[in-house]
Amino acid sequence: MMEYAFFEGRIVPIEEAKISIKTNSFHYGTAVFEGIRAYWNEEHHQLYILFAREHYQRLLANCRAMFMELPYSVDDLVNITVELLRKNNIKHDVYIRPIAYFKDLALTPKLIGFTPEIAIYTYSFGRYLDTSKGIRVKTSSWIRNDDNSIPSRWKVAGAYVNSALAKTEAILAGYDEAIMLNQNGFVAEGSGENIFLVRGRKVVTPPCWDHILEGITRSAVIKLIKNELVLEVEERSISRSELYSADEVFLTGTAAEITPVVEIDNRKIGSGDIGPITRELQKIYFDAVRGNIERYKGWLTPVYES
Ligand code: PMP
- Which stretches of the chain score pLDDT less than 50? none
Could you confirm whether 155 is annotated as catalytic? Answer: yes
291 lines ligand 1 (CB under 6 A): no
193 lines ligand 1 (CB under 6 A): yes
ipTM > 0.85, yes or no: yes
Q: What is the pLDDT of residue 127?
A: 84
pLDDT digits (tens, 9 = 90+) for 51-73: 999 999 999 999 999 999 999 99
Nearest of 236, 230, 243 to residue 284 by alpha carbon: 230
Nearest of 129, 124, 101, 117 to residue 37 by alpha carbon: 124
Q: What is the pLDDT of residue 1?
A: 81
> Is residue 32 within 8 Å of 100, Cβ to Cβ?
yes
CATH code of the domain made up of 135-289? 3.20.10.10
Q: For residue 34, how far is its CA from the centre of ligand 1 (angstroms)?
A: 9
Q: Which atom of ligand 1 is nearest to the CA of 212?
A: 1
Q: What is the pLDDT of residue 186?
A: 98
* Atom 4 (ligand 1) nearest CA: 192
CA atoms within 13 A on the CB side of 2: 10
Q: For residue 293, how far is its CA from the centre of ligand 1 (angstroms)?
A: 24
Residue 287's Cα: distance from chain center in Å? 19
Q: Which atom of ligand 1 is nearest to the CA of 255?
A: 16
**Distance between CA atoms of residues 240 and 182, nearest Å:** 11
Nearest of 135, 93, 100 to residue 120 by alpha carbon: 100
The residue to mutate among 195, 217, 222, having the most atoms of ligand 1 within 8 angstroms of its beta carbon, is 217
Average pLDDT over the chain, rounded to an integer: 97
Q: Which residues of the chain does CATH 3.20.10.10 include?
A: 135-289
Nearest of 260, 267, 221 to residue 243 by alpha carbon: 267
Q: For residue 200, how far is its CA from the centre of ligand 1 (angstroms)?
A: 26
Q: Name the fold adopted by 4-123.
A: D-amino Acid Aminotransferase; Chain A, domain 1 (3.30.470)
Which amino acid is present at 90? I
217 lines ligand 1 (CB under 6 A): yes
Q: Which of 18, 91, 138, 155 is catalytic?
A: 155
Q: For residue 269, how far is its CA from the centre of ligand 1 (angstroms)?
A: 23
Q: Which residues of the chain does CATH 3.30.470.10 include?
A: 4-123
pLDDT digits (tens, 9 = 90+) for 256-273: 999 999 999 999 999 999
DSSP states along the chain: ---EEEETTEEEEGGG----TT-HHHHHT--EE--EEEEEETTTTEEEEETHHHHHHHHHHHHHHTT---S--HHHHHHHHHHHHHHTT--S-EEEEEEEEE--------SSS--EEEEEEEE----SS-TTT-EEEEE-SSPP--TTTS-TTS-BGGGHHHHHHHHHHHHHTT-SEEEEE-TTSBEEEESS-EEEEEETTEEEE--TTTT----HHHHHHHHHHHHTS--EEEE---BHHHHHT-SEEEEEETTTEEEEEEEETTEE-TTSS--HHHHHHHHHHHHHHTT--GGGGGGEEE-S--
Q: For residue 252, how far is its CA from the centre of ligand 1 (angstroms)?
A: 8
